[in-house]
Amino acid sequence: MAIKTPAQYNESLKDLHPTAYILGEKVENVFEHPLIKHMKASVAKTFELENDEEGRKHLVTKSDLIDEEVSRFLKFYTSPEDLLAKVRMLKFLAQNIGGCYMRCTGMDAISSVGIEVYNCDQKYGTNYWQRLIDFVTMMQKNDYVLFSGVTDVKGDRSIRPSQQKDPDMYLHVVDRNDDGIVVRGAKIHQTGSLCAHWGIVVPTREMREEDKDYAVSFAFPADSEGVIHVYGRGTLESRAMEGCDLGNVEFSKFAPMVIFQDVFVPWERVFLCGEYEYAGNMVRHFGNYHRHSHGGCKCGVGDVLIGAAATAADYNGLPNVSHINNKLAEMLKVTEAIYGCSIAASVESVETPSGIYNVDPVLSNTSKLYEGKELAEVIRMMIEIAGGMVADVPSDKDFANPEIGPLLHKYLKGAEGVSTEDRVRIFRLIEKLAFESRDIVSNIHGAGSPETHRMTILRNSNIEAKKKLAKKLAGIKEE
């Protein structure tokens, strides 16, 4: 049963009892909470599509580890084709969900960790690679959802982990014994931690010898003792709480903070512990893979942005207007560039000693830089096309009011033949697409900040070789 149905996924969550706080309250039955259920619906949709004829082409693949078909979300990237398939799967899903579906951080993490633990084993004779294989095999067999814990809270950003006044600003090992290790710290922006069965921790930066207790990677059940999920508040909670004016009527995203209060991890789930020289590469791989993932999913979201803008234009009575077509073309340009660079980063991927393929870092970071800067402009153009109604359309509750409901139906209608309800629905969707803080900030800071992307591009481009090209053409002889 390596492919779950949505029903099986929902059933499986009943065995999970994570410690969770939402808006100041400890929540027992967290998966039914109104602020969690739309995210759970996103994840469940991935299981639905694993069982759908078209969807399974994207989401299901043959395992290298077990003799079964498995979710692509749980497979190492062992060929350029795997990387291409990932980008296309994420685009397909985002087109159908209109946002995040939470399963790609775990997918990106297993290959990131895999490349380096293989290298570590070669040097130090550790057996991390086999542990990771065992873990992924178990995950595949159960079609579990895995999130990854990368971003530490970081404290003072100008100083290293071991220099912080409070040593817990980065997750670290505080104790170890024959059975395993004990870790403390906190990871922030943990996309979908409350819809996942397991998490996998990746260090958030390069580490030096003095930071070696911070060079730690491991897997853990989402409801491990000492793991506390705190809901991170975004912009549109009242909609989910009230169950109206949702915009995206089924799906949403959230990203809790996850605190590790002296959590015990058995050795069999530990993938790095002190070998600090691998920490930096792990997170660099993760960053490159995850920027590559964004190339697919944000292009898919982009298709929804474009479709929503075009629909709003129709509903306003402005189909096929020259300046709107021009803006749609510009919106397409950006989303396709984001996608295209991720496709190219797949094609130009390189095999590592582990057999896992690494994406081209220059192209994957180029994709992310366009997302970080120009997707904001795509969203702005969507609002520009849709018009001012995006700002402040009355609520579904007003439409339901018998006194003013009819007046609103009358006055908020647009083009002939379009119901006022549908017109309002598209404005609400656009509002959701433009103002859901988790999504918008993810465009910029998801998978690292733009400055990191720039520096990654610079470091992975051979500037010296380009200088040589220029000098040769200029007639400059180098000794």
Near its own copies in 128-157, by CB under 8 A: 151, 153, 155-157
Q: Does 116 bind its own copies (CB under 8 A)?
A: no
| Closer residue to its own copies (CB): 199 or 414 | 414
DSSP single-letter state for residue 152? B
Nearer to its own copies, 56 or 445 (CB): 445
Name which position in 73, 254, 278, 289 contacts its own copies (CB under 8 A): 254
What's the closest the beta carbon of residue 328 comes to its own copies, in angstroms? 6
Please identify, using beta-carbon distances, which residue of 90 and 97 lies nearer to its own copies: 97
Stretch touching its own copies by CB under 8 A, among 55-63, 266-274, 283-291, 320-328: 320-328
Tell me if 17 contacts its own copies by CB under 8 A: no
348 touches its own copies by CB under 8 A: yes
- Does position 112 bind its own copies by CB under 8 A? no
Write out the H or E segment, with its range, that includes residue 6. helix 6-13
CA atoms within 13 A on the CB side of 418: 21
Of the candidates 26, 175, 179, 351, which one interacts with its own copies according to CB under 8 A?
26
Shortest Cβ distance from residue 71 to its own copies (Å)?
Answer: 23
From residue 337, how far is each of 11, 331, 449 by CA, in Å?
A: 40, 10, 19
Query: b/e map of 26-61 (b: 16 or more CB within 10 Å)?
Result: ebeebbebebbbbbbbbbbbbbbbbeeeebbebbbb
Residues 192-231 that bind its own copies (CB under 8 A): 228, 230-231
| Alpha helix positions (H), 351-419 | 361-386, 396-400, 405-411
Contacts 24+ apart (CB under 8 A), 79-86: 79/357, 80/346, 80/347, 80/349, 80/357, 82/357, 83/292, 83/345, 83/346, 83/349, 83/357, 83/359, 84/343, 84/346, 84/347, 85/58, 85/61, 86/292, 86/293, 86/296, 86/346
Q: Is 431 in the site for its own copies (CB under 8 A)?
A: yes
107 neighbors 191 (Cβ within 8 angstroms):
no
How is 343-368 classified by DSSP, letter by letter? HHHHHT-EE-TTSPEEPPHHHHHHHH
393 binds its own copies, rule: CB under 8 A: yes
Q: Which residue in the set 226, 280, 307, 355 belongs to the binding site for its own copies (CB under 8 A)? A: 307
- Residues 210 and 8: beta-carbon distance below 8 Å: no
Question: Per rule CB under 8 A, is residue 168 in the interface with its own copies?
Answer: yes
- From the list 73, 135, 251, 276, which residue makes contact with its own copies (rule: CB under 8 A)? 251
The reply to whether 252 sits near its own copies by the rule CB under 8 A is: no
Pairing assessment for the beta strands 69-71 and 146-149 based on DSSP bridges: unpaired
Q: Is residue 52 at the binding interface for its own copies, with CB under 8 A as the rule? A: no
Return the residue of 11, 233, 350, 351 that touches its own copies, per CB under 8 A. Answer: 233
Position 332 contacts its own copies (CB under 8 A)? yes
Q: Output 245 or 275, the one with its CB closest to its own copies.
A: 245
Q: Which of 52, 250, 268, 277 binds its own copies (CB under 8 A)?
A: 250
**Residue nearer to its own copies on the CB measure, 97 or 215:** 97
Give the closest residue to 329 by CA, choosing from 317, 337, 341: 337
243 binds its own copies (CB under 8 A): no
Residue whose CB is less far from its own copies, 106 or 414:
414
